[in-house]
Amino acid sequence: MLTEREIIATLDMLRNENLDVRTVTLGVSLFDCASDDAGRFIDRVRAKISRLAANFVDVCDEVGLRYGIPVVNKRISISPIAVAACAASPEEMIAIAVALDDLAAKLRIDFIGGFGALVEKGFTQGDRALIEALPEALAKTGRVCSSINVATTRAGINMDAVALMGRTIKQAAELTADRDGLGCAKLVVFANIPQDVPFMAGAYLGVGEPDAVINVGVSGPGVVKKAIDRARAANPGLDLGQLSEVIKRTAFKVTRVGELIGRQVAKKLDIPFGVADLSLAPTPNVGDSVGEIFQSLGLKSIGNPGSTAVLAMLNDAVKKGGIFASSHVGGLSGAFIPVSEDLHIAEAARKGHLSLEKLEAMTSVCSVGLDMVALPGDTSAATLAGIIADEMAIGVINSKATAARLIPVPGKKAGEMASFGGLLGEATIMNAPNDGGSDGFIALGGRIPAPVQSFKN
Amino acid sequence: MKKIVVFVLGPDRTGIIAAVSKTLFDQGCNLEDVSQTILQTEFVGIFIASMADNGNEDEVLSALRARIGSLGLFVHLRPVEEEPAAGVQTGEPFVITTIGTDRPGLMAGVTEILARYGANITSLKAVSRGEENHHEYIMMFEADIPSAVDLSAFRAALCGRAEELGLDISLQHREIFEELNRV
Map residue A224 onto helix, strand or coil: helix
Residues A224 and A152 in one domain: no
Residues A426 and A367 in one domain: yes
Residue A404: phi and psi, rounded to 5, are -130, 120
User: Does the structure show a pLDDT above 90 at A327?
Assistant: no
B95 touches chain A (CB under 8 A): yes
Residues A52 and A115 in one domain: yes
Domain presence at residue A199:
no
- The residue from A176, A191, A206 where one domain ends is A191
Closest residue in A to B168 (Cα) is A15
Interatomic CA distance for residues A357 and A359, integer angstroms: 5
pLDDT in tens, chain B (183 residues): 899 999 999 999 999 999 999 999 999 999 999 999 998 899 999 999 999 999 899 999 999 999 988 888 999 999 997 766 666 667 899 999 999 988 888 999 999 999 999 999 999 988 876 666 667 888 999 999 998 999 889 999 999 999 999 999 999 999 999 988 888
Question: Which helix (H) or strand (E) is A347 found in, with range?
Answer: helix A343-350
Domain presence at residue A280:
yes
CB spacing of A10 vs B176 below 8 angstroms: yes
Interatomic CA distance for residues A131 and A171, integer angstroms: 11
Interatomic CA distance for residues A130 and A162, integer angstroms: 15
Closest residue in A to B175 (Cα) is A67
Taking alpha carbons only, the member of A185, A187, A175, A174 closest to residue A411 is: A174
Could you tell me the domains of chain B?
2-79 (3.30.70.260), 91-181 (3.30.70.260)
Interatomic CA distance for residues A264 and A280, integer angstroms: 22
Residues 6+ apart with CB under 8 A from B48: B3, B4, B5, B6, B31, B32, B33, B34, B80
Domain presence at residue A257:
yes
B48 touches chain A (CB under 8 A): no
Chain B residues in contact with A69 by the CB 8 A cut-off are 176
Higher pLDDT, A107 or A222: A107
Q: DSSP readout, A355-419?
A: -HHHHHHHHTTSSSEEEEEEEETT--HHHHHHHHHHHHHHHHHTTS-EEEEEEEETT--TTSEEE
Residues A175 and A297 in one domain: no
A71 touches chain B (CB under 8 A): no
Residues 6+ apart with CB under 8 A from A415: A428, A429, A431
Domain presence at residue A209:
no
ipTM of the complex in this document:
0.78
pLDDT of residue B85: 62
User: Mean pLDDT highest for which of A135-144, A319-328, B148-157?
Assistant: A135-144
Mind listing the pLDDT tens digit for each residue in A388-441?
A: 999 999 999 999 999 999 999 999 999 999 999 888 888 899 999 989 999 999
Asked if residues A351 and A415 have their Cβ atoms less than 8 Å apart, the reply is: no
Chain B residues in contact with A12 by the CB 8 A cut-off are none
Query: Which ranges in A16-110 belong to alpha helices (H)?
Result: 38-53, 56-67, 81-84, 90-106
Q: DSSP readout, A421-443?
A: -GGG-EEEPPP---SSTTHHHHH
**What's the helix, strand, coil split of chain A in %, to 5?**
45, 15, 35
Residues A248 and A187 in one domain: no
Strands A21-28 and A212-218: antiparallel
* The three-state (H, E, C) secondary structure of chain B, written as one string: CEEEEEEEEEECCCCHHHHHHHHHHHCCCEEEEEEEEEECCEEEEEEEEEECCCCCHHHHHHHHHHHHHHHCCEEEEEECCCCCCCCCCCEEEEEEEEEEECCCCHHHHHHHHHHHCCCEEEEEEEEEEECCCCEEEEEEEEEEEECCCCHHHHHHHHHHHHHHHCEEEEEEECHHHHHHHCC
pLDDT of residue A220: 81
Domain presence at residue A15:
no
pLDDT of residue B126: 86
pLDDT of residue A14: 80
pLDDT of residue B84: 62
Domain presence at residue A101:
yes
Domain presence at residue A403:
yes
Interatomic CA distance for residues A155 and A121, integer angstroms: 6
Average pLDDT over residues A372-387: 97
Residues A245 and A174 in one domain: no
Chain B residues in contact with A257 by the CB 8 A cut-off are 176, 179-180
Average pLDDT over residues A303-330: 93
pLDDT of residue B39: 87
Average pLDDT over residues A214-224: 90
Residues A164 and A260 in one domain: no
The strand order across the sheet containing B135-146 reads B120-130, B135-146, B91-101, B167-173
CB spacing of A6 vs B180 below 8 angstroms: yes
pLDDT band at A218, cuts 50/70/90?
A: confident
Residues A239 and A161 in one domain: no
CB spacing of A7 vs B97 below 8 angstroms: yes
Which amino acid, one-letter code, is at A358? K
Q: What's this model's pTM, rounded to 2 decimal places?
A: 0.89
Residue A397 exposed, middle or buried by CB count within 10 Å (0-12, 13-18, 19+): middle
Number of structural domains in chain A: 2
pLDDT of residue B87: 62
Domain presence at residue A66:
yes
Taking alpha carbons only, the member of B89, B94, B98 closest to residue B151 is: B94
Specify the CATH number for the domain of residue A166. 3.20.70.20
Interatomic CA distance for residues A408 and A172, integer angstroms: 9
Residues 6+ apart with CB under 8 A from B4: B29, B48, B49, B50, B51, B57, B60, B77, B78, B79, B80
Residues A236 and A176 in one domain: no
The domain of A396 spans: 219-443
Beta bridge partners, B100, equal B137, B167
Residue B46 exposed, middle or buried by CB count within 10 Å (0-12, 13-18, 19+): middle
User: Does the structure show a pLDDT above 90 at A24?
Assistant: yes
Asked if residues A333 and A258 have their Cβ atoms less than 8 Å apart, the reply is: no
pLDDT of residue B86: 64
Which amino acid, one-letter code, is at B22? K
pLDDT band at A368, cuts 50/70/90?
A: confident
Half-sphere exposure in the Cβ direction for B40 (13 Å, CA):
3
Map residue A194 onto helix, strand or coil: coil
Residue window 46-65, chain A: list those with CB within 8 Å of chain B.
65
User: Does the structure show a pLDDT above 70 at A78?
Assistant: yes
Average pLDDT over residues A273-291: 88
Query: Which of A3, A4, A6, A7 is the best mutation test for B, with the most CBs of B within 10 A?
Result: A7
Average pLDDT over residues A87-116: 97
Residues A320 and A180 in one domain: no
Residues A246 and A391 in one domain: yes
Closest residue in A to B121 (Cα) is A1
CB spacing of A7 vs B95 below 8 angstroms: yes
Residues A44 and A167 in one domain: yes
Identify the weakest region by mean pLDDT among A46-50, A310-314, B29-33, B98-102: B98-102
Mind listing the pLDDT tens digit for each residue in A414-429?
A: 999 999 988 888 889 9
CB spacing of A2 vs B95 below 8 angstroms: yes
Taking alpha carbons only, the member of A454, A457, A451 closest to residue A191 is: A451
Interatomic CA distance for residues A353 and A305, integer angstroms: 10
pLDDT of residue B70: 82
